[in-house]
Structure 1
Amino acid sequence: MLSLSAYQAAKELKWSPGKVHGVIRALQRSEAVKCKLKVVNGRAVKMMELVR
């Protein structure tokens, strides 16, 4: 399953991180994506996965 961080998505789409976080929140409410917080190199990273 495809897993992508909010920061990676922002870079790929050339959007601001805030805009991406807003879209992620909307997708979570509609249960289209599932998010998990992971610690990578000492930083919290929000990873999102598509739900089918």
Structure 2
Amino acid sequence: EVRNSGNLVVLRTPPGCAHVVGSALDRSGMSGLLGTVAGDDTLLCVA
């Protein structure tokens, strides 16, 4: 599940996977991505 509001995006992952996805996004060098904050199954991306 993906939801966004302005420059924030919330991604829902399977339990225990948010940190893996967040780490991959942080290392990707994606233009416009300032960073991520991961919980157990939820990831907040700030652009």
Q: TM-score range by the shorter chain?
A: 0.3 to 0.5
Q: Structure 1 or 2: larger helix share?
A: 1
TM-score relative to the length of structure 2: 0.41
